[in-house]
Structure 1
Amino acid sequence: MKNLLLLVHDDDGQEARLQAALDLARAFDGHLNCVDVAILPVLDTDPWSGGAGTAMLLTEEKAREAANRTEIERRLTQEGVAWTWFEATGEIAPCLAKAAALNDLIILNRRLDGLPIPDMHAATAELVVKSGKPVLAVPEKMRGLSVAGRALVAWDGSTEAERALCAAVPLLAKASHVQVLEIEDGSTVGSASDAATYLSRHGIHVVVRAEKGTNRSVAETLLAGIAADRSDYLVMGAYGHSRFAEAIFGGVTKRLLDESPVPLFLVH
């Protein structure tokens, strides 16, 4: 995980993203690729304005981001990590997707609890599905990622779970404790012991725990597992069902993006 793509934008989740990115950069001697996005305002629908309102809002947004850049660059020069700065104008997900090609991980928030703009939940979901890259989605109030801490891996044998497990190997290799949690609800298609064997060949020794199907949902079981194991982050395959289905009927990924108290390492 040498190339880390970091969303820079002056919002309530920025400090959490930055602290997680710095911790990863130090742990992996990595490089931060900072994409500072000036978000396009909602289009002015008044036909008599000639777009003046939209232009004014965009000018204000760019001014805020210019001031934000000055402050973040000042901090980065003191942090002892390598970084490059890029600027973009538009929506978060397309701007980061365009920059994602030669990066190992995208760092975002799982959601923001304040104003509806930016819609970080939607941007993170879109990037998980469309970028082809792992996404680290951090809680808004988090201050730092415990790279050498306790990792929980959600396992159901799905293609998404396999991809998440494989992509997370460099991170899991630095963890002090790794638990693979298998929820036996009748949908599991592969054994957690296979996942443990795979990780052991990378020098990662894990504890496997199986949870029998109960009246709790899979999401509730994972949230309980995070608390019981005192996990510092969760590795999971994302959107095993379509995003449309999750939006309409609810789903594990959506619930975790809404409620997880720890960072989520997500791969579709």
Structure 2
Amino acid sequence: MALKSILAAYVGDAAGSGGLMLASHMARKYDAHLTGVVWHGPSPLEHRFHRYITKEVRDAISSREDEIVAGIRADFQSRISDEGLDGRTHFIDLRSDSDFSLASCARRYDITVIGHRASALGRNQFSVRPDVVALRSGKPVVVVPPAFDPAKLGTHALVAWDGKRSAARALGDALHILATKEQVTVLTIGEPPADELGDGPVDLLARHGIRAERLIRPEASGGVAATILAACAETRAGLLIMGAYEHSKFAEDLLGGVTRNILNAAELPILMSH
């Protein structure tokens, strides 16, 4: 899949976030159009006390949010100008009361880049969950750590492969990106899936002209997520590619899981698909 249309979602973090920096880097690298989007639902005050808030107070809250969005738009335009991307960008102000609206928007782009879910004080209504966007949009999402420097992306990517549906989806969604890498590692925790008696993911990549190496590791004491992140650090991978929520998202939220644990601990960008 060629990347020609990138969505960069603002999530309430500080200006100059790693998400926008990486999205700009990708737009230049792939000669793609870049769309900035800011999603925001009701403020915590409005959500909690909506029955008791007067029209004047509601108008004041709306006016303040308009000011915040205007500042975000100005920062976006300034960064776009600095990056030399004028003429192939635009900006969307997306108001809604659920993450689903951003997911619906994301379906219209090749890929969505979102900063880590860390909202500035007083801007919780701008926060979104990138894993939910990936789950509901059906499109790949890149989650970027705060203040990430695209120079650290490097030329090495690691693919977490368990042979299941979401891992296969992530691998397919990442082919165009992997084709630009000098080194690709395909990591499997434990024994390779029994159905890999024929071709495996390394063979698939080779047929796309991508040379990759297979790495098989036992599960470490910290669990699958810790094993994956340790392999990323050991191999100096600058990008992790993985499937999200192979098990129930409800169970992940309730009990924790690989997706949630990696999102909470990763210090490198993660491309995830579901």
8 Å contact 1:160–1:238 — kept in the other structure? yes
Match of residue 79 from structure 2: 75
In the other structure, the counterpart of 2:233 is 227
AA aligned opposite 1:3: S
Match for 1:245 among 245, 251, 256?
251
Partner of 1:218: 224
- Given residue 71 of structure 2, which amino acid in structure 1 is its aligned partner? A
1:194 Cα deviation after fit: 0.4
Structure 1 unaligned residues grouped into runs of 5+: none
Q: Which runs of 4+ in 1 moved over 4 A?
A: 113-116, 145-148
Deviation at 1:34, TM superposition (A): 1.5
1:102 paired residue among 104, 108, 123: 108
Alpha carbons of structure 1 residues 54 and 174: separation in structure 2 relative to 1, 3 Å? same
The separation in 2 between residues aligned to 1:72 and 1:92, in whole angstroms, is 23
Q: Under a length normalisation based on structure 1, what TM-score does the superposition of the two structures give?
A: 0.89
CA distance in 1: counterparts of 2:23 and 2:39, whole angstroms? 17
Where 1:210 maps in the other structure, the secondary structure is: strand
Query: What is the rounded CA distance, in whole Å, between the counterparts of 2:245 and 2:10 in structure 1?
Result: 25
CA-CA distance at 1:41 after TM superposition: 1.0
Unaligned 5+ segments in structure 2 are none
**Equivalent-residue separation in structure 2 for 1:87 and 1:46 (angstroms):** 22
Distance in 1, Cα, partners of 2:99 & 2:174: 22
Listed as ranges, the matches of 1:109-124 within 5 Å are 109-112=115-118, 115=121, 117-118=124-125, 120=127, 123-124=129-130
Instruction: Measure the CA separation in 1 of the matches of 2:222 and 2:196.
Output: 21
Identity rate, percent: 29
- Count matched residues: 266
Q: Using the TM superposition, give the Cα deviation of residue 39 of structure 1 relative to its aligned residue in structure 2, in angstroms.
A: 4.0
Deviations 1:214-259 (A, max 9, x none): 4341001011111101110100000011111011121000001101
- Is the Cα contact below 8 Å between 1:2 and 1:30 reproduced in 2? yes
2:15–2:72 CA contact under 8 A, matched in 1: no
Contact 2:103 2:134 in 1 (8 A): no
TM-score calculated relative to the size of structure 2: 0.88
TM-superposed deviation, 1:59 = 1.5
Q: Residue 110 of structure 1 contacts residue 138 of structure 1 at CA under 8 Å; is this kept in 2? A: yes
SS state at 1:40 partner: coil
Does the C-alpha gap of structure 1 residues 46 and 243 become closer, same or farther in structure 2, counting only changes over 3 Å? closer
Match of 1:209 in 2: 215
1:20 is matched with which residue?
22
1:80-115, CA deviations, whole angstroms, 9 ceiling, x for partnerless residues? Answer: 222122222225733322322321101112322764
Give matches, 1:1-268, under 5 Å.
1-8=3-10, 10-12=12-14, 15-42=17-44, 43=47, 45=49, 47-81=51-85, 82-91=88-97, 93-112=99-118, 115=121, 117-118=124-125, 120=127, 123-144=129-150, 149-184=155-190, 188=193, 190-191=195-196, 194-268=200-274
